[in-house]
Amino acid sequence: MAKTAKPKSPPDVAKLTKAQAKVEHMRLTLDIERHDKAYYQDDAPKISDADYDALRKRFNAIEEKFPEFVTGDSPSQKIGAAPSGKFKKVRHAVPMLSLDNAFAEADVLDFVGRIRRFLKLGDDERIDFSAEPKIDGLSMSLRYENGELVTAATRGDGAEGEDVTANIRTLKDVPQKLKGRNVPEICEVRGEVYMTKQAFLALNERQKAAGEPIFANPRNSAAGSLRQKDSSITASRPLGFFAYAWGQISAMPEDTQSAMVGWFERCGFRTNPLTKVCHSVEQLIAFHRKIEQQRAGLDYDIDGVVYKIDRLDWQERLGFVSRTPRWAIAHKFPAERAMTVLRDIEIQVGRTGSFTPVGKLEPVGVGGVIVQNVSLHNEDYIKGIGGDGEQLREGRDIRIGDTVIIQRAGDVIPQVVDVVIDKRPKTAKEFHFPKKCPCPLHTDVVREETAAGEESARARCSGEFACPYQTIEHLKLFASRRAFDIEGLGEKQIAYFYEQGWVKEPGDIFTLPARNTKLKLEQIEGYGETSVRNLFAAIEERRKISLERFIFALGMRHVGETTALALARGYGSWKAFHDACLKVAKDDEEAMAEMDALDQIGETVIASIKAYFSESHNRGIVERLTREVTIVDAEKPKSNSAVAGKTVVFTGALEKMTRDEAKATAERLGAKAAGSVSKKTDYVVAGPGAGSKLAEAKKHGVAVLTEDEWLAMIGQ
Ligand code: IVH
């Protein structure tokens, strides 16, 4: 790094009070982040190596004295790691999806019941499950071509991960070459990279002794170790890998999950020794209990167990619901709890104007992470009068200064589940929910209405797009990783550009480069020519966007990523979707029925789309934005089946399969399963008892098939 001025020496860390240390910890976090960005991203360091090391050393000393300050996103957890973007992106041939969660035994019963119904299995038909520990590490996809390891990629957003091949090659559990003859030409092995608890503790000891930062938990230390630009550092950190799944495989070597795991072992991988085939719900529950008892004694962190249908032909038939398989579930261990003090309550205004009260806690460790914020949901939750308040123990209300019990389950945001009334201080303050939005407009706060037209517990700012908070939140979502993913346009930049009046709506982002001769962004303090050049390059790179990301980025209420994907797949192109939205806004019944027929789209989403496109302000934003970008059509499910691209309606009783399976199979083969018959319908598959839909089919001259004819047509 470049040599510049030296900072003056600060007071001894040992003498700092906790409050002083906290303030300094926050300030140092910001400083280190700023210098990391200058060094790694802009290649323009602003301080000397020695000064940077001094900052780090002091920061580490503070975290060593107050380990409760160490959080997952502390700079100490990212030491040496180049920021995201330095690794090449890898598109997964088969997306890396996640698992649905079960918390109670009843959820496991439901899971098995759903499978029986979907596959039309009798109560006494045996189902085999592969039951496996759920490793709390990082999922990894290893691609082998002709038996040789060619790429190792992190999960990323599921569609695209980061190329960490050089680092993965240093793991002894990952073979460079698959053992055995006749390995498939293409084979992607997936599993979990983890660090043992012992290795994690030993690493932290070494870090401490060397005055280096300590890690919050084994998962973080595994992630930090893997994201090194220098693979010799990864090599010095003992990382393990368990193989348990796969992506693309040119020829399947086995036909059950358990046999696949056996095959991974023969190929030279380590697999988890606790994995077991179970034959009933009772055996699954017994497995969960047994593993939970063993949990503390295991040398690696687990956060539950996973049950998978063993037969791969059944897995195939069951398929996926949005981003999770129907054939597997994660049965999590009970939530971990901790006691701490609620210091304050702040209001956060969301993208759609909703108000969320956030509890500011005395930092406390729960299940491996330090928690400082907790969602308090809404006014009624705080008052303990129902609404969404079912998490909070009955008869409790929450006051500032209270000692509270918080609970954290998996990735779920921590909750306040109880208040220790005996510890309530006299000074505890009731929280008065604001009547006005904290934005400069001070617009009135209103209660939302439920679908039934009743007042709900959720409060919203009534300012809509006149409220700067909502606009800024929407712009942040728009540029975020999950939407347009514009690197270098983070929350701070968005807020700043908005305040300056440079970016008032999404389309403005794309006209920034052309307007820069006037704006002169490079003159902003701490920005510089390189950052501006990088930002403009990132903006240009993202002018081309997939339809699902584009729909999600519009920020309509109730249209999250999964819904956006369903809409994109349903309409295929922006033009088709946009035309439909404009029609829905005008209450066009046919357009509404067509939208309603799409998988996973219902009344709430349609109402939200209608509300959005009824506003001329929103239509204007969309129009100006679409002038700036190219929206890529959604990929239709690949299929050379006879029914690809056709619209089919199932009606009456089906005898060989359930309605859900029939629809899912049709969609897998590239057909659209609609809910009502129109002149656009290609086939109506009618079973016994079919009524008005059959009559409609005849009226429109649509081909009517029996269930057997349909099965013959799809080759089953
Ligand atoms: S199977 C289609 N098996 O849990 C999903 N996942 O919550 C296939 N995980 O992203 C995943 N242990 O990182 C599977 N035995 C196991 C697992 C496991 C840990 C992780 C994995 C996944 C996450 C989903």
**pLDDT, tens only, 206-216:** 877 777 777 76
Q: Domain range for residue 125?
A: 89-332
Q: Please indicate, yes or no, whether residues 490 and 367 belong to a single structural domain of this protein.
A: no
Q: How many CB atoms lie within 10 A of CB 567?
A: 25
Which pTM value belongs to this model? 0.57
The fraction of the chain above a pLDDT of 70, given in percent, is 91
Rounded Cα–Cα distance for residues 216 and 52 (Å): 22
| Pair 355, 460: CB distance under 8 Å | yes
Residue 447 is assigned to a structural domain of this protein: no
C-alpha of residue 338 to centroid of ligand 1, in Å = 27
Query: Nearest C-alpha to atom 6 of ligand 1 is from which residue?
Result: 134
Q: Is the pLDDT of residue 314 over 80?
A: yes
Q: Which atom of ligand 1 is nearest to the CA of 320?
A: 2
C-alpha of residue 481 to centroid of ligand 1, in Å = 22
Ligand 1 pocket test: which of 96, 241, 306 has the largest number of ligand atoms within 8 Å of its C-beta? 306
Residue 304 is assigned to a structural domain of this protein: yes
C-alpha of residue 466 to centroid of ligand 1, in Å = 43
Q: Which atom of ligand 1 is nearest to the CA of 325?
A: 2
Rounded Cα–Cα distance for residues 495 and 503 (Å): 9
Q: Is 25 in the pocket of ligand 1 (CB under 6 A)?
A: no
Q: Is 243 in the pocket of ligand 1 (CB under 6 A)?
A: no
Q: Please indicate, yes or no, whether residues 246 and 214 belong to a single structural domain of this protein.
A: yes
Burial of 459 (C-beta count, 10 Å sphere; 0-12/13-18/19+): buried
Q: Please indicate, yes or no, whether residues 158 and 103 belong to a single structural domain of this protein.
A: yes
Q: Is 132 in the pocket of ligand 1 (CB under 6 A)?
A: yes
Ligand 1 pocket test: which of 92, 99, 154, 270 has the largest number of ligand atoms within 8 Å of its C-beta? 99
Q: Please indicate, yes or no, whether residues 133 and 98 belong to a single structural domain of this protein.
A: yes
Ligand 1 pocket test: which of 103, 129, 134, 332 has the largest number of ligand atoms within 8 Å of its C-beta? 134
The pLDDT, as a whole number, for residue 83 is 37
Q: Is 134 in the pocket of ligand 1 (CB under 6 A)?
A: yes
Q: Count H helices and E strands in the chain, helices first.
A: 24, 26
Query: Nearest C-alpha to atom 9 of ligand 1 is from which residue?
Result: 134
Residue 672 pLDDT grade (very low, low, confident, very high; cuts 50, 70, 90):
confident
Q: Please indicate, yes or no, whether residues 420 and 566 belong to a single structural domain of this protein.
A: no
Residue 449 is assigned to a structural domain of this protein: no
Q: Is 102 in the pocket of ligand 1 (CB under 6 A)?
A: no
Q: What is the mean pLDDT of the chain?
A: 86
C-alpha of residue 191 to centroid of ligand 1, in Å = 7
CB proximity list for 63: less than 8 A, separation 6 or greater: 25, 69, 70, 74, 76, 213, 214
Rounded Cα–Cα distance for residues 295 and 270 (Å): 19
- Return the exposure string of 675-684: e unless at least 16 CB atoms fall within 10 Å of the residue's CB, then b: eebeeebebb
Q: Please indicate, yes or no, whether residues 520 and 652 belong to a single structural domain of this protein.
A: no
Worst-scoring range by mean pLDDT, 62-76, 176-190, 284-298, 397-411? 62-76
Q: Examine the residue annotation and report whether 134 is marked as an active-site residue of this protein.
A: yes
Q: Is the pLDDT of residue 41 over 60?
A: no
Q: Is 245 in the pocket of ligand 1 (CB under 6 A)?
A: yes
Residue 637 is assigned to a structural domain of this protein: no
Reported as a single tens digit per residue, the pLDDT across 338-381 is 899 999 999 988 877 888 899 999 988 876 667 888 989 888 88
**Domains contained in the chain, number:** 6
Residue 27 is assigned to a structural domain of this protein: yes
Tokens linked to 384 = 């303990």
Residue 78 pLDDT grade (very low, low, confident, very high; cuts 50, 70, 90):
low
Query: Nearest C-alpha to atom 18 of ligand 1 is from which residue?
Result: 134
Q: Is the pLDDT of residue 49 over 80?
A: no
Q: Write the CATH number for 659.
A: 3.40.50.10190
Ligand 1 pocket test: which of 103, 192, 264, 302 has the largest number of ligand atoms within 8 Å of its C-beta? 192
Q: Please indicate, yes or no, whether residues 261 and 295 belong to a single structural domain of this protein.
A: yes
C-alpha of residue 100 to centroid of ligand 1, in Å = 10
Angle at 256 (CA atoms; ends 255, 257), nearest 5 degrees: 135
Query: Nearest C-alpha to atom 21 of ligand 1 is from which residue?
Result: 139
Query: Nearest C-alpha to atom 1 of ligand 1 is from which residue?
Result: 245
Q: Please indicate, yes or no, whether residues 468 and 418 belong to a single structural domain of this protein.
A: no
Residue 598 pLDDT grade (very low, low, confident, very high; cuts 50, 70, 90):
confident
Burial of 467 (C-beta count, 10 Å sphere; 0-12/13-18/19+): buried
Q: Please indicate, yes or no, whether residues 246 and 304 belong to a single structural domain of this protein.
A: yes
Q: Is 607 in the pocket of ligand 1 (CB under 6 A)?
A: no
Q: Which atom of ligand 1 is nearest to the CA of 136?
A: 19
Q: Please indicate, yes or no, whether residues 474 and 394 belong to a single structural domain of this protein.
A: no
Query: Nearest C-alpha to atom 2 of ligand 1 is from which residue?
Result: 97
Catalytic residue among 8, 18, 78, 134: 134
Q: Is the pLDDT of residue 2 over 60?
A: no
The pLDDT, as a whole number, for residue 216 is 67
Q: Is 309 in the pocket of ligand 1 (CB under 6 A)?
A: no
Q: Is 704 in the pocket of ligand 1 (CB under 6 A)?
A: no
Q: Write the CATH number for 553.
A: 1.10.150.20
Residue 84 is assigned to a structural domain of this protein: no
DSSP 181: S
Q: Is 301 in the pocket of ligand 1 (CB under 6 A)?
A: no
